[in-house]
Amino acid sequence: MGVTYQAIDLTLGHAVALEVTMQVARALTAADAQGLVHRDLKPANLMLVDGPELTVKVIDFGLVKFTAMDSTERRDLTTHGFVGTPGFASPEQLEGQSEDVRSDLYSLGVTLWYMLMGSPPFTGSVANVISQHLLQQPPFESLATVPADVVAVLRAMLEKDKAKRIQTPSQLREALRPCAERLRAAEWAPAAPIRLEAVPRTKPPPSRGNAAESKIRSLARAPAPKLAGPDATFVRVALQRPAAARRGVRALGLATVSLFALNLLFAGGWLAFFAPHPFPR
């Protein structure tokens, strides 16, 4: 069971698009050997077959032209005037001129453009599309993401003059083969190994609540300044002030405790002298 290429999400990569094109070129080689011109090559007429490998089949030969017939037989086999899809038709096909395999190669070039970019080179109304196929060059500048060698093959496929176009499907396959091999190698190349680099551990910044404590600790760890003269005296006095303050606090505490003890003794003696006794003295 297969699905047409147009129904597939167009994100298969350039290498797959070239592989599809080369397989269609192989089918055109077999058709040309039988004197057949498809005349309606487009993504909707390419079938991708489910399987372990990519397999493409060309379908819908309803508009096929048998070039080995004479003009009378061809008129009986095919319809009169233009047949095909204007967006993918060759200039000679749009003008009603004789077609051969080079016309199918032009249509295959438009199909390759579609597979690479997601849309054909010419869009708009049917009249505008026909006019552009006949008179305007495709917007090759829009193929900035396509490799240059692939763009060069596309230019040869989309020549207005079929005499300047790639002449046979075999020539097309030979031109695309090195492009496809290079793209396959690039798209399937293993990714570069991930390098893990050691990152030095850093201490988190102190919280606001511990800012004062951290400052005190940093000052305590700081080396004492080495000064001489009056500055040395000033620094020594400044560093000694906290110790002197602590000694003063301890002395004041001892004095307060002593005073409190004397008060207790005095209160006890007063109570002992003036309090009434059950027995007379």
Given the residues 40, 60, 149, 231, select the one marked as catalytic. 40
9 has catalytic annotation: no
CA-wise closest residue to 157 among 114, 99, 110 = 110
Q: Which two tokens stand for residue 239?
A: 């560093």
Q: Residue 172 in contact with residue 166, Cβ under 8 Å?
A: yes
In 3D space, the residue among 47, 38, 46, 40 whose CA is nearest the CA of residue 2 turns out to be 47
Angle in degrees, 0-180, between the axes of helices 14-33 and 101-117, rounded to the nearest 10: 170
* Phi and psi torsions of 62, nearest 5°: -65, -25
Residues 6+ apart with CB under 8 A from 255: none
- Distance CA(155)–CA(135), nearest Å, equals 15
* DSSP 8-state code for residue 86: G
Beta bridge partners of 135: none
Q: What are phi and psi of 37, to 5 degrees?
A: -120, 125
User: Which residues participate in catalysis according to the annotation?
Assistant: 40
